[in-house]
Amino acid sequence: MRDPRYDVLFEPVPIGPVIARNRFFQVPHCNGMGHRHPSSLAEMRGVKAEGGWAVVCTEEVEIHHTSALDGAVEGRLWDDMDIPAHRLTVERVHAHGSLAGIELVHSGLNAPNTYSRVPAIGPSVRPVTSGTPSVGREMTLADIANLREWHRAAVRRSLEAGYDVVYVYAAHGLTIFQQFLSPRFNARTDEYGGTLENRVRLLREVLDDTLELCAGRAAVACRIIVDELLGVDGQGRAVGLGRSEMEDVFGLIGELPDLWDLMVGEWDFDSSTSRFEQEGYSEPFVHGFKQLTTKPVVIVGRYTSPDTMVRLVNQGITDFIGAARPSIADPFLPNKIAEGRAEDIRECIGCNICVSGDWMSVPIRCTQNSSMGEEWRRGWHPERIAPKPVDGGDTKVLIIGAGPAGLEAAMWLGRRGYEVVLTEASRTLGGRVVQEAALPGLAEWGRVRDHRVLQLEKMDTVLVTLESPMTAEEIVEYDFTHVAVATGATWRADGVGRFHASGVFGGAMTPDDLLAGQRPAGNRVVVYDDELFYIGGVLAELLAGEGFQVTIVTPESKVSAWTVNTMEQHKIHRRLVAAGVAILTDTAVLGHEGDVARLACTYTGREHSLACDAVVSVTFREPHAPLVGQLQSLGLQYVQAIGDAYNPGTIAEAVHSGRLYAESLHAPDLAVGATPFRREIIGLAGR
Ligand code: ADP
Ligand code: SF4
């Protein structure tokens, strides 16, 4: 039964001519599937609707070939050929009683157009802001009229596809309407530049166009930046759009759209990781905007707490609880609150692995939700799994190691009805996430453990044992038919990795040592990061916070280089500098002798030295699964390594591996060489 405290979240809310059945609103979010994987995309959106989100939106959808975001895979609605794919998404969303929203975009100066090979366009001649060293063309009045017509055509196509909410998009620093609004891009001297009234003109005209076409058939939403967060330049001049100017924009067009979707800064702020921002971090910026309009408002802030959501509504900060990441981590978040099961919410941990899918142009994935991106191609569901087959009756599964992989495998196998024993050598469940959650800024990562442990506690099919380091000889004494070895991985200490092919350190420390509580003997520490994700930077931050004099050295040209994909790299650099960590990029550590580390430039090989008492070697982890071979040699047939014990990777990969193991038990064997998931192939034109 629903807790009456949360009733307000389930009130229907009108948006212009349509009615949202509750206040849960999946705002537009990228997913790396876009126009390339339409069936995967439609199924993913459908699952959100099934989980109770009253409005389910697309990602940004290009309206025209002058707004081609290739490099990324976004939505596309250039012409009628694109309509059927959108109809598929709308059908899947409508099938569960939700409203389908489409976020139309013209990216203007943000469009590299590397596929369409036409110049980018914008309010003024300015460099293209992504993907190409080209310069965008200043739009003539005829271009502006054309842009309005392209947008109108996209609105007509959206209506034909069946969308209920059509967005005019002026946010994230990514769209032409924001570029016209912002003095950062708009230096025009005609009626579209200069005064605020002039800069807002195009947005007003396009809103008018969209309202006229939607006329009672669909609502018109406007996603708007409320503060570009750019501050002032060296001369004290405002660089971009600030809050007070945006309040004036609301004074001019505040009543125009049917809904305002408020956002702040650029995408890296809008989707800040938990290492840098907590739940609700954008609230101070959006606060008060709802009072500038009578139209409903939606905000985001990685909200997963229903009590906070109720407060936001009751305090008049928002009408809708907007979510991208919380809806990715748990598509069933609204239903769980509705059913009085808020404790079952799989809370987003704020790691931005989902975002990395978009940056890498591959289908979205999620650390917490192993089914994300796999709904259509593998048939996985965030809440359900096929029961064990009738002939699987005497199957008994032992899972060794209760890290993310072991926990996930046990949870899903338990749900399938298998008899499972999950055994863990240490005193705590959670494996690496328990240790890593204790590092600076990573506390929320503990949610990976918490959710699964809670679910396991509710099951009577899974027996969990702690402080039980199992040997192969012990295991074969029992009657397990299947054994999954989820015993994790071990950091190498010798410096071998991407840069060094053979060992260079004798007595270096590793992340495992630091996570286990050991510390360097002296004060001057070099963290050698050839792994390139977060751990090297976090450990440098940890040691600096404890008073060590830290230098982080990396062969890459950026510190924590892979974190560009989680939109954290620049924040990590800034934080390390603030913590007093010295940063040496394009540099390898060649060795450490006495109190000197030998370094070399990775371009020239030129060597230099650095006074150093200890080196922490952060290169890669090796699978730790001796049990697999031992059990096989003792005659056990069904034994398999999963997670890091199979191939070390991100926590998301370990969770996925656990799910895959659970899904695969008693699944029909695949033919040798067969692709283990469905693919969608582009039809050949005119053949
Ligand atoms: P993954 O990310 O693949 O889940 P982790 O390293 O997070 O891997 O977790 C591995 C877990 O396995 C750790 O909690 C570790 O204590 C446990 N473990 C390692 N060896 C054994 C063993 N022989 N018996 C039981 N548990 C083990
Ligand atoms: Fe949240 Fe991480 Fe999942 Fe993204 S990948 S939704 S940030 S848990």
Per-residue pLDDT tens digits for 290-339: 999 999 999 999 999 999 999 999 999 999 999 999 999 999 999 999 99
Q: What is the number of other CB atoms lying within 10 angstroms of the CB of residue 77? A: 25
Is residue 172 flagged as an active site residue?
yes
Query: Can you tell me the distance from the alpha carbon of 27 to that of 269, in angstroms, rounded to the nearest whole number?
Result: 16
pLDDT-derived band at 188, boundaries 50, 70, 90: very high
Closest CA to ligand 1's atom 14: 431
Give the pTM: 0.97
Instruction: Quote the pLDDT of residue 446.
Output: 98
In this predicted model, what pLDDT tens digit does every residue of 213-267 receive, in sequence order? 999 999 999 999 999 999 888 888 878 899 999 999 999 999 999 999 999 999 9
Asked if the model's pLDDT at residue 397 lies above 90, the reply is yes
In this predicted model, what pLDDT tens digit does every residue of 598-655 receive, in sequence order? 999 999 999 999 999 999 999 999 999 999 999 999 999 999 999 999 999 999 999 9
Q: Which residues are 32's β-sheet partners? A: none
Query: Can you tell me the distance from the alpha carbon of 65 to that of 364, in angstroms, rounded to the nearest whole number?
Result: 24
**Mean per-residue pLDDT, 656-667:** 97
pLDDT-derived band at 687, boundaries 50, 70, 90: low
In this predicted model, what pLDDT tens digit does every residue of 411-433 receive, in sequence order? 999 999 999 999 999 999 999 99
Computed over every residue of the chain, the mean pLDDT equals 97
Which residue in the list 151, 172, 482, 656 is annotated as catalytic? Answer: 172
Pocket test for ligand 1, best of 407, 427, 487 (most atoms within 8 A of CB): 487
In this predicted model, what pLDDT tens digit does every residue of 137-159 receive, in sequence order? 999 999 999 999 999 999 999 99
Is residue 30 flagged as an active site residue?
yes
**Mean per-residue pLDDT, 342-348:** 98
Query: Can you tell me the distance from the alpha carbon of 514 to that of 544, in angstroms, rounded to the nearest whole number?
Result: 13
| 38-41 long-range Cβ contacts below 8 angstroms, 24+ apart | 38/85, 38/88, 38/89, 38/680, 39/88, 39/376, 39/678, 39/680, 40/363, 40/373, 40/375, 40/376, 40/377, 40/680, 41/85, 41/89
Which residue in the list 167, 169, 303, 418 is annotated as catalytic? Answer: 169
Is residue 270 flagged as an active site residue?
yes
Of all atoms in ligand 2, which is nearest to the CA of residue 328? Answer: 6
Taking CB atoms and a 6 Å cutoff, what residues make up the pocket around ligand 2?
A: 325, 328-329, 348-354, 366-368
Contact between 408 and 452 (Cβ < 8 Å): yes
State percent of the chain over pLDDT 90: 96
Instruction: Quote the pLDDT of residue 661.
Output: 98
In this predicted model, what pLDDT tens digit does every residue of 118-130 receive, in sequence order? 999 999 999 999 9
